[in-house]
Each structure stands twice: as structure tokens, then as C-alpha cells.
Amino acid sequence: MGIRAAACLAALAGGAGLALVAAASSWPPGHSPPAEVVAADAALVLSGDVDYLRAARAAALYRARAVPLLVVTGAGVGGDNAEALRDECVRLGVPRDRILLEAASTSTRENMLFVAPLLRARGLRRVALVTSDLHMGRAERAARRVLPEVDWVMVPVEDAGASSPRRARLQEWAKLLFYLARGWA
């Protein structure tokens, strides 16, 4: 192959790469369609809920009697912390004894690994997965990998106001690719 042909191939590959990045920054990773009607044994609220939108949606599901139990996750700060998420759900009308805590996880994968024993011990077979729309694609894949026996119900909530939505989507795609490469999703 000559230099000119190699340069053309490199330009085409670069252009394809740019197109892929542009597309990835326009849409978050896909996920199963959300249920029209949610009815589940529990709602799993993933950490990273900086504006408590996930907690609010889960509390609304509880108040509507769509779920009898909430499971909140995370070892971080604020909405990344199971105790803070629990407190927000209690403030929104969920009794404290209807909320289970998983307070050790620091990632989506750990959210799933650490809640698995809680869900299995209680025989929870249908679980509403409550997270942001942007995060749902990776969260669903991780959930299905760790807990394939669970019937997952997708409950995406509005994405909290990211300062750069394009960057947030690109980061989520990068995280999903990392999870796929590791066999975690």
C-alpha cells in the first residue's frame, strides 16, 4: 500500500472515529423500555442521586403502592450515600422500616454485587431499577449480569443538570465500554 492510500485510510478511520464520538455524545447508552405500569417487590435506588430525583421517584412508587420496599445504595456523600437517600425517602413519606440500606458500594458494579445478597435473602424476584436515564443502560446491564434471576423493571428518572451533557454522555459510554471489557455488563 502506498503512502497516499495509507493516508486516505487514516483519514477515513479518523473521520469514522469522530462520527462515532459525535453520535455517542448525542445519545446515552440504550436500555430496555420503561414499564408503563410499575409493580415490583422492591425498588432499588442507585447512588449518585445528587438532586435526589431517584429517591423522589422511588418514594412516589412506594406511596402509590407499586412497591412495598425500597433498597438504597452507596457509601459516598449526599445523594451518593445510602443513609442520605434513606433520609430523603423518609422525608417524602416512606417509613424507615420499609427501606433497606446497602452502605458499602462505591460504583454501579458494587451497587449490584452488594445488594445481591439482600435481594436473594428476601426472595425478591421483580425489582424496579431506579436511576437516571443516562446511567440506566450501564446499570441495567450490570444488574442483569449480577442478578440474572431477577425480573428487572426499568424506572429511569430525569438526568440531574449536568454542566456538560455531551461530556456526561461520553463518560457514560466510556464507563459502559470499560464494564463490557471487564465482563461486568
Cα–chain center distance at 85: 15
Q: Is 172 exposed, middle or buried (0-12, 13-18, 19+ CB in 10 A)?
A: buried
Q: For residue 75, is it within any domain?
A: yes
Q: For residue 119, is it within any domain?
A: yes
Residue 72: which CATH number?
A: 3.40.50.620
Q: Find all residues with CB under 8 Å of 44, minimum gap 6, and list them.
A: 71, 73, 111, 115, 119, 127, 128, 129, 130, 143
Cell numbers placing 117: 445478597
Q: pLDDT digit of tens for each residue in the chain (185 aa)? A: 677 655 445 445 544 443 344 444 455 667 777 777 899 999 999 998 889 999 999 999 999 999 999 999 999 887 789 999 999 999 999 999 999 999 999 999 999 999 999 999 999 999 999 999 999 999 999 999 999 999 999 999 988 766 678 888 899 999 999 999 999 99
pTM: 0.83
Closest residue by Cα to residue 35 from 143, 136, 138, 147: 136
Q: For residue 28, is it within any domain?
A: no
What one-character-per-residue DSSP string does 8-22 give?
HHHHHHHHHHHHHHH
Domain count, the chain: 1
Q: For residue 143, is it within any domain?
A: yes
Q: For residue 25, is it within any domain?
A: no
Residue 120 structural domain: 42-182
Q: For residue 9, is it within any domain?
A: no
Q: For residue 100, is it within any domain?
A: yes
Q: For residue 16, is it within any domain?
A: no
Exposure string (b/e) for 100-128, b if CB count within 10 Å is 16 or more?
Answer: bbbbebebbbbbbbbbbebbeeeebeebb
Q: Is 151 exposed, middle or buried (0-12, 13-18, 19+ CB in 10 A)?
A: exposed
Are β-strands 151-157 and 126-132 bridged in parallel, bridged antiparallel, or unpaired? parallel
Residue length, the chain?
A: 185
